[in-house]
Chain A
């Protein structure tokens, strides 16, 4: 993956959705970065509280969530006919539809479309799909400069960094760090600029203004595509989206095949669920919707590229397919105790947090125990906060458990592993009352190991494989059966 780090390891067909090391290894490093943890902790606490207030204002929130969930399930069940209908309507109104099996194909199609315009520079609206395919690096390799225009994406791009959050890719950076990045990498920035967020935002405005007014080609993602009309929608805040979607002659939109809604009025559900879940606002400042080409208004050449890139893998899993219902609001990230501490980079994929933990491994498929994405379903405490926060009711905890089970089953071959042996031994001990009583007595030894804290933090091999990642509580003074015998002397069995 390594998006902006100079030596990209490209994974054909998958793009930036698989890291290079397992979640536990990456998380261990992230946990030692106190600045990152402070930045993330402050940001997620703020947004968590705001979101609760924004949702509390809506007295039909649960009804909207159920409608959103059912709408998405309906889309998945009728996806072929809806995609064909969408294609017909985009085409009928002057747009052109392309289909891409994977990241490479999408990048090739878009590069060719840009080349055909004769332009060697494009302005970009923030888009998870283009991050997923690694489009910027691909364009770069082909001599086309891709300029990110969302402030957070710009911070990431100028900082030669990687995004760490779906909605706020630079959430891991604080104002002082952003000021440094601007001073180092933004041409023409005032050397005396302060770290006031307003001053920094205005510097970005000045930097990008000229680009917007002269750009000939723009690339965007899409929040929604409407099958019934061929309409596309981009939801944003800064106005960079409107600039890109309005001023250039050519607009190229990359959209995952799961982004469809059946009818235009179905947007009434998602346009209520999305803003309050993502930025905790009643409505985001700007939403643009366009249907094909509007003569005399906006881009006169419009292309939409429909992207599979593993989505059909996800769709094939009956339990896991609802991961595709995701509307990329990032509410699950902001409530997740694991994300808050480990940060977005530890997940390796452009989709971090709880949704990333179920989406990334399903998109890429996993190649065995050492595949970094195979570790993602374990990047969770299964506390369920993500399910509660999800505006389309994706049951993330159940899918995590399902993917863990699949992972374990896929490794059930050859010699039994340590866990298998431990479970077999436990089965043997628990199979007989005498053996169990003996084991309980033996377990008392553990109290000594626990010391005064009552926690066992390291055991010799092979038990060290367990205690390397977690502490073990020391066994209690008394077993349940001893307690029962002591407190129920009179009772007979």
Chain B
């Protein structure tokens, strides 16, 4: 018997006498989003994780993003990042078919991307590889991630996020910069992912 057949048969005999399960109670908060989420709460929960929060409107994004990139540092952006968000200075575009290798990415200091949504309750931004976000390595290898979130992308709750996300896309949930609590449960920001996370909220 194959392992597959054997395991499935073991399970079937193990649960043969099990009663039919009760329906799953869904009385937790799962109201659909009724408009843009709570921007102030989002800013607060993101800030709580020691990511820096910045405010901008469409006309000031470039200024603010450019200002966050230290003198002499190189940035990388996905090819479809909106022009109005693209920082000035030394900027590389990660364009197919000549995407940067991992080692090339490692030599780059900053990455600027958008996101697919933000969750106010938890201070989370979600990337799905869609418009303006690029592939996953882009937001992982450079040490500094500047992520631009439009206020209309913010939802209030975790269930609201799951109701809109595409499960077949590569998803990355980011809540603050990389952190560890492995030494005496002291939180240390910045281990293997980007050690600095700037979130720019655009009205």
Contact = CB atoms under 8 A, between A and B. Distances in A.
A200 B183 contact: yes
B182 interface: yes
B35 to A, nearest CB: 19
Interface stretch (B61-69, B129-137, B146-154): B129-137
A255 B4 CA distance: 14
Given A238-B191, A283-B173, A312-B10, A100 B3 contact: yes
B162 to A, nearest CB: 4
Nearest to A105: B3
Among A105, A174, A208, A286, the most chain B Cβ lie within 10 Å of the Cβ of: A286
Interface in A163-202: 168, 170-171, 174-175, 178, 197-198, 200-202
A96 interface: no
A472 interface: no
Interface string B161-178: 111010111111111111
B48 to A, nearest CB: 8
Interface string A216-238: 00000000001011010000011
B22 A286 contact: no
Interface residues on B, range: 35 or more
A168 B28 CA distance: 30
Give the size range of A's interface with the partner.
Answer: 35 or more
B169 to A, nearest CB: 8
Contacts of B25: 63, 66-67, 70
Contacts of B93: none
A289 B177 contact: no
Contact of A269 (B7, B28, B103, B180): B28
A237 B183 contact: no
A202 B190 CA distance: 8
Given A67-B26, A238-B178, A76 B188 contact: no
User: Which of B24, B27, B124, B182 has the most chain A CB atoms inside 10 A of its CB?
Assistant: B182
17 contacts: A39-B184, A73-B22, A77-B18, A80-B11, A99-B2, A151-B180, A168-B182, A201-B188, A212-B192, A213-B106, A279-B181, A282-B122, A285-B176, A285-B178, A287-B172, A296-B99, A308-B10
Given A240-B192, A271-B173, 12 more contacts: A63-B25, A66-B25, A67-B25, A178-B183, A213-B102, A229-B167, A247-B137, A271-B158, A282-B45, A283-B175, A315-B11, A316-B13
